[in-house]
Amino acid sequence: MKIKKTILVLTILITGCSATLQSRTSSTVYDLGLIRSEDSSSIVRMPTWVSLMVADAVSPPWLDSQSIQYRLAYHDPSQSHGYANSRWAASPAALITHRVRSHLASVTQNAVLGAGDGVRADYILRIGLEEFSQVFDTPDQSRVVVRFRANLVSRGGRQLLAQRNFSIDQETTQPDATGAVHALTVAVDRLTGELTEWIATELVEDGRRVVK
């Protein structure tokens, strides 16, 4: 009987230790949240005949993970670190790809396609992510930096129609992973708005050239 009680106590202790260890090592998973609905005044007008494929964004190897990256600019800005107990639901490139596709689909009245749709589009948007991290200027003050390059390509002629660099620095409300996520979401949404306006302008201009 004593042996059975001892085994029961040990089992409870081991289970409790395991649960405690798991709670300490579990990660909080973030994405960029829900896209806010756009009112009719924010609808971007594009040529009705245009279809656009948004290719999967690409990124440098150090960004190709689910880690939430940060830099200590006051110590060594060339080093990139990742939060131990917080991570993204997908890589930053995948998050941006989904955000851009969803935003373009919500504010345009045209077909927005993905790389896996298997449908021929009039234009291709390619995004190269260059920076997507939190930067600490001091131990208690941080900002986020997002940079990417966008290429607009004519699929029929495989011709580069336009290229533009997009970048933004956004202050965080708190110097931690949660602050980084919130600020990066705001930054991505602002850049996505700028990207959408740029695409609309370029497609309209290209449409005029075709007509001429």
Question: What pLDDT score does 208 carry?
Answer: 58
Identify the pLDDT of residue 10.
38
Q: What is the pLDDT of residue 17?
A: 42
Q: Model pTM?
A: 0.81
The pLDDT of residue 212 is 47
Which residues of the chain fall short of a pLDDT of 50? 2, 4-24, 39-40, 211-212
| 4 SS3 class | helix
Q: What is the pLDDT of residue 155?
A: 72
Instruction: Give the per-residue pLDDT at 121.
Output: 82
Q: Which domains does the chain have, with CATH numbers?
A: 2-211 (3.40.50.10610)
Q: Report the share of the chain in percent with pLDDT over 70.
A: 75
Q: What is the pLDDT of residue 13?
A: 38
What's the rounded Cα separation, in Å, for the pair 201 and 196?
A: 9
- Please enumerate, as own/partner, the contacts of 63-69 that have beta carbons within 8 Å and a separation of 24 or more: 63/91, 63/92, 63/93, 63/129, 63/131, 63/132, 64/91, 64/93, 65/91, 66/90, 66/91, 68/30, 68/134, 68/177, 68/180, 68/181, 69/132, 69/133, 69/134
